[in-house]
Amino acid sequence: MQGVDAALRAAGHEVVLLPDGVGEDELARALGDAELLLMCYTPVTARVIGAAPKLKGIVKYGVGIDAIDIEAAKRRGIPVVNVPEYAEETVAEGAFALLICLCKRIKPILGAMDARGWAWPSSQWLGLDLAGKTLGLVGVGRIGSSMARMAQGFRMRLLGFDPYAAFPPGVEKRTGLQDMLAECDFVSIHCVLNPQTRHLIGDAELRGMKASAFLVNVSRGAIVDEAALLRALQERRIAGAALDVFSAEPVRKQGHQLSALYAMDNVILSPHLSFYTREAMARLEAETLERCREVLEGRPVTVKSRDPRLRAQCKGVRFTD
């Protein structure tokens, strides 16, 4: 976020940069005189918030807010805001790209090309058509709706599970998650991580999927019980998976609970970069800077997210429809 840092300095603000992975003690000390906390993944605990007597607002430059103790911020009257709209299309494009790579066997085919220079038609390279297949969306908000629109262009049947969203045209609503999973050829996750969605896809849900079905997750790693997913893949109870997010990041080839996935031809691992395009980063910087200015200038902070945790704030915020 160098553009944001430079713009804040140009406006006369002091910007203190802390390293990724900064500890709770160091973060609490650094916030002693701070009016604004701009963060991405670093946990912002009640203790950290309590150590910042001058803090006017917390801005998450991104979407997920699960690292912030929002209740502690509310008790102090400190507004919390994220930037939910910058990569809606971008992340959906990333999810759809992973879906295509799974069904077209791109990972093993490219591996064969790199190793041997060519691959003749044989059963191990046999892919799938998307047309006529059923895609289930776990979460039908902004990103899920964008994913649905892309899938409609490929003539896929669309199902959705989301207790809160208004469903877009062409997506059949399912009120039971397991009932929906049993119908799907592909499942793509697009819900937020909160206490209700943590391990939403667990062992029972994975056992309820077709053996020929694929799972795509570009949302948050902890929405899936990753140990259960690893077992399902090792036991070939589902056909494959594409993951851009993980409970513990970064993933490593050794010493990580998901290290075994690297060796699987039916699994695609992406380093949490589905949001990362030139256009999305420009939008993120512009939106983040505007939220920072609102905090520092004492204006109500604009909350564009529909997340009920942010919508429950009543001090120092204004909501868009």
- CATH number of the CATH domain containing 230: 3.40.50.720
Query: pLDDT band at residue 210, thresholds of 50, 70 and 90?
Result: very high
Answer positive or negative: Cα dihedral of 85, 86, 89, 90: negative
220 catalytic residue (yes or no) = yes
pLDDT at 241: 98
Same domain assignment for residues 140 and 253: yes
CA dihedral over 73, 75, 78, 80, signed as positive or negative: positive
Pairwise CA distance, residues 217 & 220, whole Å:
7
103 and 249 housed in the same domain: yes
Cα separation, 161 vs 251, in Å, equals: 29
Residues 33 and 93 in one domain: no
**Of the listed 75, 249, 279, 311, which one is catalytic?**
249
pLDDT higher than 80, residue 9: yes
Residue 20 pLDDT grade (very low, low, confident, very high; cuts 50, 70, 90): confident
Asked if 175 and 221 sit in the same domain, the reply is: yes
Q: Which of 109, 158, 152 has the alpha carbon at shortest distance from 137? A: 158
Please tell me whether residues 194 and 144 are part of one structural domain: yes
Residues 80 and 124 in one domain: no
Confidence of residue 314 (pLDDT cuts 50, 70, 90): very high
CA 207 to each of CA 18, 56, 59, 79, 210: distance values in angstroms, whole numbers, following the listed order: 43, 47, 39, 41, 8
- 286 & 188 share domain: no
Same domain, 59 and 94: no
Active site residue 256: no
Catalytic one of 272, 283, 293, 306 = 272
pLDDT of 267 > 80? The answer is yes
Domain region containing 162: 88-269
pLDDT, tens digit, for every residue of 291-307? 999 999 999 999 999 88
pLDDT, average across residues 38-59:
96
Q: How far apart are CA 256 and CA 108, in angstroms?
A: 23
116 catalytically annotated: no
Structural domain tally of the chain?
Answer: 2
97 and 45 in a common domain: no
Picking from 18-32, 167-181, 196-210, 211-225, which range would have the lowest pLDDT averaged per residue?
18-32
Question: What is the greatest pairwise CA distance in the chain?
Answer: 67
* 292 & 231 share domain: no
Q: What's the length of the chain?
A: 321
pLDDT band at residue 114 under the 50/70/90 scheme? very high
Residues 104 and 177 in one domain: yes
User: Among 142, 157, 220, 291, which one carries the catalytic annotation?
Assistant: 220
Kindly tell me if the per-residue pLDDT of 1 is higher than 80.
no
Whether residue 175 is found in the same domain as residue 310: no
Would you state the structure tokens that stand for residue 319, as one six-digit string? 């909501």
